[in-house]
Amino acid sequence: MLALVVAGTRPEVIKLSPVMRAFEDSDINYIFVATGQHYSFRLFQKFIEELKFPEPDYNLDIGSGSQAYQTARAIEGLEKIISQANPDVIVAQGDTNAVLSVALASSKLNIPFVHIEAGLRSFDMTMPEEVNRVVADHLADILFVPTERSGLNLLHEGISREKIFITGNTIVDATLQNIELAEKKAEVDIPSGYFLLTLHRAENVDSERRIRNILEALEELDEEIIFPVHPRTVQRIESFNLAGNFHNIKQIKPLGYLDFLFVLKNARAVFTDSGGVQEEALTLGVPCITLRTSTERPETLEAGVNFLAGVDREGILKAADKALSGINFNLKNPLGDGQAGKKIVETLLNLKAEGRLDLKKPEKKIGEEKRRFLRVGSELKGKRIYNSNLEIQRVIQSGRELFPGENLILEQDMLIEIIERKFY
Ligand code: UD1
Ligand code: UDP
């Protein structure tokens, strides 16, 4: 089996690394394509080296530019490589422009697209990442979701249950695989008490008002703030003339992965607008204050470890107070058990063996799809969903929707949606 794996940015290398490890231990061969969206040493190559990720077989060198420019260049480059390599599957992760390009290129060439970390939704379509998530998920053939909740998001949009697999998020694997090494090998000096800050989301840093508000609020905190600054943010701080305004906030270059994990683990709390950092903070038990008005990771809020602060002074300081007032970390990580990479690879191998990766061959085209609702009566009661002959898309029990997972047992009066498909 041959997989084509595509990554464009720092977080994709981190989150794909557990999958690459699992590929190495399996019969799956892979080709690795970098889109070149991140090209600075400290945003890409450093992570390839630290995570022992393979060097790219191809680099599309798309570089920086507008959303359309980056996406279009990557689609063009990918089309050529995919046509030559003819892989069994194409794998991409998350919500960056690389994922959007892969979704479009692979679906037009009828090669199965595997989307890892599918199903996340901020419900804010002004974010470029949300547009990427929605489009990618609708074009994906196999969707690996981190949680039941992200699986339900997909069902609500009509995406077929049979394409969705709950595995946990690979960031948990990466964090657990690397934290000990990070504590041993970190080369960064830390003070005895400090906060950590990361900030790069376009809607925050491209707005002078927002970035100023955020930094001014954080400047009021009683402890030093370590701020490894993303290059997008470096540029904005310069162009908005903010550089000399902050003394409590110590700006440093972006950190390597091991250094970053070490600094995060030892921080009193982290302030961030990053997706991955919210997940790592939960995994490492560090209070997190999210500098955004929404998050596509609500599980971290429900766990009581992440606090959504908004982007104004009062909200930020209030959320900081809450986060610092003591948090119970004795919880099961809702984002997974650190085995997501293995589960993803095992599932791909099973799907291949069952012929389910050939879905797009012309003879397997679906001609008709009918959906209908049923109330569970005595004839179905007690059946395990996956032992029945019915394909069940949605399950509602006492007004609450459940994900039709493999272990779900049908109970009297549940409302279920059934799909019938005809193949011609
Ligand atoms: C991108 C992703 C974002 C992700 C982030 C991870 C999209 C739409 N955005 O945002 O979801 O959270 O990566 O960090 O895909 N630059 C450099 N060196 C580089 C790359 C960029 O200096 O290697 C500078 C350029 O001036 C560029 C700016 O950073 O214009 C922004 O880079 P870009 O890749 O467009 O978006 P990110 O903000 O990195
Ligand atoms: N990270 C890092 N060095 C830094 C900042 C972040 O190694 O200076 C890592 C961090 O461990 C996390 C990932 O980068 O796994 C998050 O990337 P980013 O915030 O750029 O993107 P997002 O997760 O928001 O897409």
Q: Which tens digit of pLDDT belongs to each residue from 107-135?
A: 999 999 999 999 999 999 999 999 999 99
For 364, the token pair is: 């397997």
Give the ligand at the shortest distance from the Cα of 13. 2
405 in a domain, yes or no?
yes
Give, using CA atoms, the residue closest to atom 19 of ligand 2: 274
User: What percent helix, strand, coil does the chain show, rounded to 5?
Assistant: 45, 20, 40
- Give yes or no for residue 36 having a pLDDT over 80: yes
**Beta strand segments in 132-188, E:** 142-145, 164-166
Give the ligand at the shortest distance from the Cα of 61. 1
Task: Please indicate whether residue 254, judged by its CB atom, sits closer than 6 Å to ligand 2.
Answer: yes
Same domain, 145 and 62: yes
Give CA separation, 109 vs 54, 79, 85, 159, 420, in Å: 26, 8, 12, 20, 27
Name the nearest CA neighbour of 86 among 123, 31, 152.
31
**Rounded distance from Cα 389 to ligand 1 centre (Å):** 47
Q: Ligand 2 pocket: which of 12, 16, 198 to mutate (most atoms <8 Å of CB)?
A: 198
Phi and psi at 329, nearest 5°, equal -100, 10
203 in a domain, yes or no?
yes
Q: Ligand 2 pocket: which of 9, 10, 130, 253 to mutate (most atoms <8 Å of CB)?
A: 10
**Rounded distance from Cα 333 to ligand 1 centre (Å):** 29
Give, using CA atoms, the residue closest to atom 28 of ligand 1: 232
Same domain, 347 and 378: no
Range of the domain at 373: 366-423
Same domain, 13 and 102: yes
Same domain, 135 and 30: yes
The minimum-distance atom of ligand 1 relative to the CA of 276 is 12
Distance CA 348, CA 367 (A): 25
360 in a domain, yes or no?
no
Residue with tokens 């540029």: 235
Percent of the chain with pLDDT over 70: 97
**Rounded distance from Cα 342 to ligand 1 centre (Å):** 29
- Give yes or no for residue 363 having a pLDDT over 60: no
**Rounded distance from Cα 277 to ligand 2 centre (Å):** 6
For 256, the token pair is: 């390597």
**Is 200 among the residues known to form the active site?**
yes
The b-or-e profile of 329-344 (16+ CB within 10 A means b, else e) is eeeebbbbebbbbbbb
Question: pLDDT class for 376, splitting at 50, 70, 90?
Answer: very high
Same domain, 305 and 388: no
Same domain, 155 and 221: no
99: CATH: 3.40.50.2000
Task: Please indicate whether residue 15, judged by its CB atom, sits closer than 6 Å to ligand 2.
Answer: no
What was the pLDDT predicted at 245?
A: 84
**Rounded distance from Cα 113 to ligand 2 centre (Å):** 25
Give 211-267 pLDDT, tens digit per residue.
Answer: 999 999 999 998 999 999 999 999 999 999 998 889 999 999 999 999 999 999 999
What was the pLDDT predicted at 316?
A: 98
Give 310-322 pLDDT, tens digit per residue.
Answer: 999 999 999 999 9
Same domain, 155 and 19: yes
Task: Quote the pTM value.
Answer: 0.97
Same domain, 273 and 376: no
Distance CA 196, CA 208 (A): 21
Enumerate residues 6+ apart whose C-beta is below 8 A from 69.
62
Please report which residue ranges of 86-192 form alpha helices under DSSP H.
Answer: 97-108, 128-139, 148-156, 170-185
Same domain, 139 and 78: yes
Give the ligand at the shortest distance from the Cα of 286. 2
What was the pLDDT predicted at 387?
A: 66
140 in a domain, yes or no?
yes
Name the nearest CA neighbour of 23 among 346, 362, 359, 384.
346
Determine which one of 38, 115, 200, 230 is catalytic: 200
- Give yes or no for residue 366 having a pLDDT over 70: no
Same domain, 83 and 203: no
The answer to whether residues 32 and 92 touch, using CB atoms and an 8 Å cutoff, is no
**CA 352 centroid distance within chain:** 24
Q: How many domains does the chain have?
A: 3
- Give yes or no for residue 411 having a pLDDT over 90: yes
Task: Please indicate whether residue 151, judged by its CB atom, sits closer than 6 Å to ligand 2.
Answer: no
Give 147-177 pLDDT, tens digit per residue.
Answer: 999 999 999 999 999 999 999 999 999 999 9
Look at the alpha carbons of 32, 35, 37, 41 in this order and tell me if their dihedral is positive or negative: positive
What was the pLDDT predicted at 379?
A: 85
What was the pLDDT predicted at 380?
A: 85
Same domain, 39 and 140: yes
Same domain, 131 and 197: no
Question: pLDDT class for 390, splitting at 50, 70, 90?
Answer: confident
- Give yes or no for residue 193 having a pLDDT over 70: yes
Q: Supply the Cα-derived Rg of the chain in whole angstroms.
A: 22
Task: Please indicate whether residue 263, judged by its CB atom, sits closer than 6 Å to ligand 2.
Answer: no
383: CATH: 3.30.70.1450
What was the pLDDT predicted at 388?
A: 67
- Provide the β-strand partners of residue 409: 384
